[in-house]
């Protein structure tokens, strides 16, 4: 007899609609799957819960929320396949509409049982410095001065595999994955990159030399030398932060463990469509 599929469900904490759908999904797949809720979702719907990090033992994790919730879940469960149901403002990472969620999740559970689920590999980034590590980041790592604005600039020298690609004064630089190319990277003039391309985007922020964004291979080692009168910040996926004393050097590379997202729409077409 085929063992039941293990499914984790995480709902956006401030969304009653997401909580209600979590209950419906659990009922829909009862008998086909063993369902676990993260602790916050479990408290909201009065069910038993587990630490979110333990959901990495599941065959599939269903995330009911926006892109921020998906980033949080991916950061907790590593390479466990994650499918996002969109309860946010912009759903680049949450590919399933709430109205389609019940049928879609039942279909994905059946794929898990048959061994035919095919999540997309999404490479992530890790940043390292003197005694610290941040990441892995699914969207981007931001290296910036102590504050945004003209008074918050830093001196930057960015090398790719040992070759200097820019030396400038700027508010900072965004090092983005293709998955994150439609987030802060795009807002600061960076390119949209197909999420299935193996690449890294380097996008200067308010660069005084107007250095254009560049795209490099994702196996490259990126080294940023940073100097200035104050401190600097490294921020991974908008949440994890490391303050830097200057001068210093930050190394950025592709993380060893990728994320795996279940895409129900073509990733590039979806990214472009949500921007219209």
Q: Where are the domains of the chain?
A: 5-122+259-273, 125-254
pLDDT digits over 156-166, tens only? 999 999 999 99
Instruction: Report, as residue numbers or ranges, the catalytic residues.
Output: 67
Same CATH fold assignment for domains 5-122+259-273 and 125-254? no
Q: Return d(Cα 66, Cα 260) in angstroms, integer.
A: 17
Return binding residues for NAD(+).
67-68, 72, 139-140, 182-187
Predicted confidence (pLDDT) at residue 63 exceeds the cutoff of 60: yes
Contact 155, 227 (CB under 8 A): yes
Q: Tokens 């931001």 map to which residue? A: 142
Cite the annotated binding site by residue number.
67-68, 72, 139-140, 182-187
Q: What is the pLDDT of residue 274?
A: 53
Q: Would you say residue 231 has pLDDT above 70? A: yes
> Does domain 5-122+259-273 match CATH 3.40.50.2300?
no
Domain 125-254 has CATH 2.60.200.30: yes
Q: What is the pLDDT of residue 67?
A: 92
CB 228 within 8 A of CB 171: no
The pTM for the full model equals 0.92
């Amino acid at each position: 007899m085929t063992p039941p599929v293990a499914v984790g469900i995480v709902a956006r904490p401030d969304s009653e609609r997401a909580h209600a759908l979590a209950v419906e999904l659990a009922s829909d797949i009862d008998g086909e799957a063993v369902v676990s809720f993260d602790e916050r979702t479990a408290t909201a719907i009065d069910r038993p819960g587990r630490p979110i990090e333990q959901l990495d033992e599941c065959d599939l994790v269903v995330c009911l929320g926006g892109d921020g919730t998906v980033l949080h879940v991916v950061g907790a469960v590593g390479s466990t396949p994650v499918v996002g149901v969109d309860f946010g403002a912009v759903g680049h990472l949450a590919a399933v509409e709430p109205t389609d969620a019940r049928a879609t999740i039942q279909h994905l559970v059946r794929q898990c049982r048959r061994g035919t689920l095919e999540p997309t590999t999404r490479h992530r980034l890790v940043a390292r410095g003197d005694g610290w590590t941040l990441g892995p980041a699914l969207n981007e790592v931001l290296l910036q001065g102590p504050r945004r604005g003209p008074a918050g600039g830093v001196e930057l020298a960015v090398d790719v595999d040992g070759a200097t690609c820019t030396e400038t004064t700027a508010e900072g630089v965004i090092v983005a994955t293709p998955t994150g190319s439609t987030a802060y990277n795009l807002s600061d003039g960076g390119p949209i990159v197909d999420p299935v391309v193996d690449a890294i985007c380097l996008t200067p922020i308010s660069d005084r030399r107007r250095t254009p964004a560049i795209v490099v291979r994702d196996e490259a080692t990126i080294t940023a030398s940073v100097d200035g009168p104050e401190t600097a910040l490294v921020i991974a996926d908008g949440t994890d932060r490391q303050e830097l004393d200057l001068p210093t050097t930050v190394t950025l590379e592709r993380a060893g463990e990728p994320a795996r997202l279940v895409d129900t729409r073509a990733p590039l077409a979806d990214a472009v469509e949500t921007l219209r």
